[in-house]
Amino acid sequence: MRKRWLSLAAGAAVLAATLIPAAPAMAAPTFKVPFPCNQSWSGQTRTNHSPANAIDFNRTDDLGDPVVASAPGTVDVVTNLGDTSYGKYVRINHGGGWTTYYAHLNAFNVSVGQTVGYGRVIGYVGTTGGSTGPHLHYEQRSNGSAVKINFNGAQALYWGTKTYTSDNGCAGADTGAGTVNTAGTALTVRSGPGTGYSAVGTVADGAKVTIYCQTSGTSVTGTYGTSSIWDRIGSGRFISDAYVYTGYDGYIPGVPRC
DSSP codes joined into one string, 190-248: ESSSSTTSPEEEEE-TT-EEEE-EEEEEEEEEETTEEEEEEEEEETTEEEEGGGEE-SS
CA distance 21 to 45: 35
Q: What is the DSSP letter of 135?
A: B
Q: How does pLDDT run along the chain (258 residues), one tens digit per residue? A: 333 333 333 343 333 333 444 444 567 888 999 998 889 999 999 999 999 999 999 999 999 999 999 988 889 999 999 999 999 999 999 888 999 999 999 999 999 988 788 888 999 999 999 999 999 999 999 999 999 999 999 999 999 999 999 988 876 556 677 899 999 999 999 999 999 999 999 999 999 888 888 899 999 999 999 999 999 888 789 999 999 998 778 887 667 777
pLDDT of residue 115: 79
* Contact present, 177 and 65 (Cβ < 8 Å): no
How many Cα atoms occupy the beta-carbon half-sphere of 67 within 13 Å? 33
pLDDT of residue 173: 53
Query: Environment class of residue 49 by beta-carbon count within 10 Å: exposed (0-12), middle (13-18) or buried (19+)?
Result: middle
Query: Environment class of residue 245 by beta-carbon count within 10 Å: exposed (0-12), middle (13-18) or buried (19+)?
Result: middle
Of residues 123, 135, 248, 251, the one with CA closest to residue 193: 251
Instruction: Give residue 123's identity as a one-letter amino acid code.
Output: G
Query: Environment class of residue 208 by beta-carbon count within 10 Å: exposed (0-12), middle (13-18) or buried (19+)?
Result: exposed
pTM over 0.75? The answer is: no
How many other β-carbons are positioned within 10 Å of the β-carbon of residue 135? 23
Structure confidence by residue, pLDDT tens digits, 108-138: 999 998 878 888 899 999 999 999 999 999 9
Q: Is the peptide bond before 159 cis (omega within 30 degrees of 0)?
A: yes
CA distance 92 to 67: 13
pLDDT of residue 196: 96
